[in-house]
């Protein structure tokens, strides 16, 4: 009888394990959707920074090299192309993340004078967030968050 009592106090009962599992399940039920939103926000913010950095880099490089620089999006990559005697040559390229859709209505060209043609916007979208980056004719870059449905 003493041996049976010692064995009984040495482990967890089935009820204690079920309570622990229900607490863990409830925590996961509440935490996982919030975690997905955080990951989605991080992905879109990272790509937004990539796009704005590429646009600023195009503007700066056109001023420093005294050559026009074109910003283009091809597939899942952003290219900065310099206009040389051999035509448009890739100066830099930036990858775009797999979970973010990126599109543009035009390919802006940044000139050494500081101007940009044509007026364009770059749209970034993932499953939760949507942003619009607008490039003015003066080369100014504006970021705005779009409301999602």
Domains of the chain by residue range: 42-146
Q: What is the CATH architecture assignment of 42-146?
A: 3-Layer(bab) Sandwich (3.55)
Task: Return the CA Rg of the chain.
Answer: 26
Residue 52 CB neighbours (<10 A): 17
The per-residue pLDDT for 1 is 46
The per-residue pLDDT for 3 is 53
Per-residue pLDDT of the chain (149 residues; tens, 9 = 90+): 455 555 556 678 888 899 999 999 888 888 777 888 888 889 999 999 999 999 999 999 999 999 999 999 998 899 999 988 888 999 999 998 888 899 899 899 999 998 888 889 999 998 889 999 999 888 888 999 887 65
Contacts of 46 (CB under 8 A, 6+ apart): 97
Residues 100, 51: contact at Cβ < 8 Å?
A: no
Task: Report the length, in residues, of the chain.
Answer: 149
Q: Rounded to 5 degrees, what angle do the CA atoms 118, 149, 126 make?
A: 60
Whether this model's pTM surpasses 0.75: yes
Taking the C-alpha atoms of residue 142 and residue 147, their distance in angstroms, rounded to an integer, is: 16
Phi, psi torsion values for 82, nearest 5 degrees: -100, 135
Taking the C-alpha atoms of residue 66 and residue 109, their distance in angstroms, rounded to an integer, is: 13
């Amino acid at each position: 009888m003493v041996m049976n009592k010692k064995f009984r106090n040495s482990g967890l009962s089935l009820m204690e394990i079920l309570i622990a599992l229900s607490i863990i399940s409830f925590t996961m039920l509440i935490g996982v959707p919030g975690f997905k939103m955080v990951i989605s926000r991080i992905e879109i913010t990272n790509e937004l920074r990539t796009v704005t950095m590429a646009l600023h880099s195009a503007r700066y490089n056109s001023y420093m090299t005294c050559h026009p620089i074109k910003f283009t999006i091809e597939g899942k990559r952003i290219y900065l192309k310099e206009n040389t005697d051999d035509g448009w040559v890739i100066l830099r390229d930036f990858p775009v993340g797999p979970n973010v859709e990126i599109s543009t209505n035009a390919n802006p060209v940044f000139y050494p004078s500081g101007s940009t043609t044509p007026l364009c916007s770059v749209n970034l979208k993932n499953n939760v967030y949507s942003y619009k980056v607008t490039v003015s004719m003066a080369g100014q870059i504006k970021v705005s968050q779009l409301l999602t449905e």
